[in-house]
Amino acid sequence: MQYDLVVIGSGPGGYVGAIRASQLGLKVAVVEKAELGGVCLNWGCIPTKSLLKSAAVFEYIKHAEEYGIKIEGESKADFEAMVKRSRDVADGMSKGIQFLFKKNKIDIINGTGKLKDKQTVEVKKEDGSTENVSAKHIMLATGARSRELPNLPQDGEKVIGYRKALTLKKQPESMIVVGSGAIGSEFAYFYSSIGTKVTLVEYLPNIVPLEDEEVSKQLARSFKKANINVMVSSEVLSVDTGGNKVKAIIKTKKGEETLEADIVLSAVGIAPNLEGIGLEEVGVEVEKGKIKVDEFYRTSVEGVYAIGDIVPGQALAHVASAEAITCVEKIAGQNPQPIDYNNIPGCTYTSPEVASVGMTEAAAKEAGYELKIGKFPFSASGKASAAGHKDGFVKLLFDAKYGELLGAHLIGANVTEMVAELVVARKLEITGHELIKSIHPHPTISEAIMEAAAAAYGEVIHI
């Protein structure tokens, strides 16, 4: 069959692009070698949030008396049941993609896709047979995998990546998490909350190092309060898996230190899946380990496109989805706006949660802006006090000259649900005063956004 578009990969970029293309009248097929929904849905965003929800419920139970509720007997975390629930949630979402494909008349071709030429995808099936699929346009959406460091090789048993961390057979008594980005910090929080002794090792001076420094320091305080051992400016030199436990030699400012744990989780980033998809054979240009594309995700080969973790830009599910939609709308003859990569929200689902968009304070100062900075602590929020979640704050950065919102940095309960307001505000170029005069409902956590804006201009009421 001749298709208008064949997509290799069905993650949050691939499946979203396929559905949007079908909505626009294109005949679409998706090539997928594993589960529909890709890593995010099956092995990343969704199952981790399921585990984190179990952790949050367990935390509530442990602190039930603070809310006037007495629970008889000791509550215990059932690790196997938590893992099973997360797998069930992921499986249900994957089945949802199957339904959406059927609804949108998208063909699913099971197997490993590879470019044969600019209009042909060769699909290798599980039984070793191959099938050639023709298309006017081909979109590469092959995603990424856990990155391995030479000094931290993963054996899948004692040194693991994020996929294995989602499906361990039993809860480890102790764990060393290497890397404090979103993946590392979320797993550190989850395992610690259910009783695993966790050490979080970060090479840079602050955990969640891409975030504003004040947010990083607040999360480190919250982690230490939760009995997570946080080691910054530290590097894992080597691991020894020969004994019953893993021995990790860690270089710190004070010298070398040896730590022992049941498991070492390597969360040092991701590597794009570029191998074996025919880039070299067809002549698709790669630069600095990513496929080179223009603002509409056209590669150096006419008719071949690439989106998501394999192209430059933030490696986030919502970015891949937005790129895919922009790409297929351009293919279909529409006139989409290029994505503004300076207005991409980032979220980390620890406790407290972290969310941000735009410049950090350090980046804004380095760019030469004179700033008005407003900060509102959740300790002054009535809703946060009532909910028992007073840790954290909202911090907003405004250009003193024009009132433009340059950056927003939030840490606290449910802030990942709040940051979208600030993304829209930046998109619409709302000023600080317009944000102050936008009435926020009381009592809500979101009032802290209005209050932080007011703090920047000396008009804050509640602190």
Rounded to whole angstroms, the Cα distance separating 360 from 217 reads 14
The reply to whether domains 2-146+271-341 and 352-456 share a CATH topology is: no
Residue 180 marked in a binding site:
yes
* pTM for this prediction: 0.94
The number of beta carbons lying within 10 Å of the beta carbon of residue 171 is 18
Asked whether the predicted pLDDT for residue 104 surpasses 80, the reply is yes
Tokens of residue 35, six digits: 């589960």
Beta-bridge mates of residue 252? 255
Would you list the DSSP string of 370-391?
-EEEEEEEGGG-HHHHHHT---
Confirm whether residue 222 is marked as ligand binding. Answer: no
Provide the residue ranges of all domains of the chain, joining segments of one domain with +: 2-146+271-341, 159-268, 352-456
**Angle between the 14-23 and 317-331 helix axes, to the nearest 10 degrees?**
30
Parallel, antiparallel or unpaired: strands 263-266 and 159-160: parallel
Q: Which of 318, 409, 440, 442 is catalytic?
A: 442
CATH 3.50.50.60 fits 2-146+271-341, yes or no: yes
Q: Is 49 annotated as a binding residue?
A: yes
Closest-CA residue to 449 (of 417, 428, 427, 216): 417
Q: What is the mean pLDDT of residues 81-90?
A: 94
Per-residue pLDDT tens digits for 122-142: 999 989 899 999 999 999 999
* 202 CB-near residues (< 8 Å, 6+ apart): 179, 180, 184, 209, 230, 231, 232, 233, 234
Query: Tens of pLDDT along 177-203?
Result: 999 999 999 999 999 999 999 999 999
Mean of pLDDT values over 431-439: 97
Beta bridge partners of 235: 251
Alpha helices in 130-194 (DSSP H): 162-165, 182-193
Task: Identify whether 63 is a catalytic site residue.
Answer: no
Q: What are phi and psi of 91, to 5 degrees?
A: -60, -40
Distance in angstroms (rounded) separating the CA atoms of residues 21 and 255: 56
pLDDT of 317 higher than 90 = yes
Residue 276: exposure state from Cβ atoms within 10 A (0-12, 13-18, ≥19): exposed
| Annotated binding residue 181 | yes
What letter does residue 257 receive in the DSSP assignment?
Answer: E
Maximum CA pair distance of the chain?
A: 70
Question: Would you say 249 is a known binding-site residue?
Answer: no
∠ CA 433-454-359, rounded to 5° = 80
The kind and range of the H/E element at 83 are helix 79-103
Buried b (16+ CB within 10 A) or exposed e, 198-210: bbbbbbeebbbeb
- Could you give the CA distance from residue 62 to residue 74 in angstroms, rounded to a whole number? 9
Q: What is the pLDDT, as a whole number, of residue 432? A: 96
The yes or no reply on domain 352-456 and CATH 3.30.390.30 is yes
pLDDT-based confidence at residue 39 (cuts at 50, 70, 90): confident
CATH topology of domain 159-268: FAD/NAD(P)-binding domain (3.50.50)
User: Looking at the predicted structure, is the pLDDT value of residue 98 above 80?
Assistant: yes
Q: Taking a C-beta distance cutoff of 8 angstroms, is the pair 176, 238 a contact?
A: no
For 236-274, what is each residue's pLDDT tens digit?
999 999 999 999 999 999 999 999 999 999 999 899 999
**How far is 239 from 54, CA to CA, in rounded Å?**
31
The residue assigned the tokens 């969310």 is 355
Residue 253 token pair: 């400012």
User: How far is Cα 271 from Cα 187, in angstroms, rounded to an integer?
Assistant: 19
The Cα–Cα gap between 416 and 346 comes to 8
Q: What are residue 113's phi and psi, to 5 degrees?
A: -90, 145
179 is in an annotated binding site: yes
Mode of pairing for the β-strands spanning 286-287 and 290-291:
antiparallel
For the segment 137-163, the average pLDDT, to the nearest whole number, is: 93
By percentage, how much of the chain surpasses pLDDT 90? 93
Check the annotation: does 59 bind a ligand: no
Q: What is the pLDDT of residue 133?
A: 96
Q: Is 69 annotated as a binding residue?
A: no
| Residues of the chain above pLDDT 70, percent | 100
What whole-number distance in Å separates Cα of residue 395 and Cα of residue 376? 7
Ligand-binding annotation for 365, yes or no, is no
Quote the pLDDT of residue 456.
98
Mean pLDDT in residue range 430-448: 97
CB neighbourhood size of 106 (10 A): 24
Output the pLDDT for position 42: 86
Burial code (b: 16+ CB inside 10 Å, e: under 16) for 136-158 equals: ebbbbbbbbbbbeeeebebeeeb
Q: How far apart are CA 159 and CA 288, in angstroms?
A: 28
Residue 284: name the closest of 309, 266, 261, 302 by CA.
Answer: 302
Nearest to 348 by CA among 212, 183, 216, 162: 183
pLDDT tops 80 at residue 1: no
- The answer to the question of whether 313 is labelled as a binding residue is no
